[in-house]
Structure 1
């Protein structure tokens, strides 16, 4: 099922849930847990992981799901794989105006090894954001992931880390993908919905102004849509298993 949701509607959904939900305190508690989560807390100890590194020498756990090897953590590299630095933009007004590849950490706080960084679509378009031999997952790869775990709803359950989605959320992380609700940065530079949504860029183009993305929300399904290239989303790298 495809949901067409603009960046503004994502922000408004997240903000309205925070402002109006009687579970506001619980949402804030989950967001706080996400911001301090460690890799040992999210990985499925019953799953076999491999290890790889980015150009910054950051270590990542990876996991085989179907015919692809996936990062089990969100990307947090600060340089392209040719060594070119990526802009770290902390100023809200500058974030949505830049024409260059850029990244930020949620609320401009210290980067978390699980949550990773939030990147604008310019970084995806370089095709150099992932380590050599890896790529940003495109629609074909995401579709294969969904089929491997038997559908959108089952995919979300099998991908989500059970530690940080709340007790009412069904999450098994049986794949080892270890999805966490790390939020996003909208074009005006504000950060939203940590503790509620996990959102990743797809390498597949939509049009000149929008890129495709995939997300897991509290409805417990993995969906996709398109969004303005100026927003900041997480990235998962992937490679085909030979």
Structure 2
């Protein structure tokens, strides 16, 4: 029986790798890496650095070209489902060809596999097809959300209040009124600019846990344009960007 390990590797800082993740890397025979193209080659390089530090001699690396997702269609859910299915097709083939029976393969997942990542859904899709058999284990990692809070030296929640983790797409629909602390991921359009008239603080971070890390915090109305400009310049310089932020209401007391 093959074994697959889905390993959360943190937001980019090798020192954030957990002891469990390091041990899982050491027991892996074959690593399957999704290559997102030349612009994001440094994402592969960061993973390769982890393997240099923690993988055992003789391990194999199999790079699979990540399929492009249709970002122009109005059918977002359908587009994501199609994209995951294409990923499953490619990774199923890679596992069948490169991981022998009794071997251990691994996926290195940015942040934590349970938070806005498709790897677990892809693995379940492959298993459901019943063409190849394997068991799999998930090793949690330090998420970009946790890294964001640590870098800004803040707590995500305040006493007696919940916090929400959502996406830019959902934030574009409306600013939640029943929660005062809102973590936003996957926001390619700087949706926070819609709410500069609200009494909100923002804690923003890009390339968290990497040498290119950028942090900006302050009252949203005062720093929103700076974040937009900084984000645009960073994306032009590197060809890609991953960022996360927390919006926090200033004015409403707990229980209001």
Give TM-score, length-normalised by structure 1.
Answer: 0.24
Higher-Rg structure is: 2
The answer to which structure has the higher helix fraction is: 2
Give TM-score, length-normalised by structure 2.
Answer: 0.23
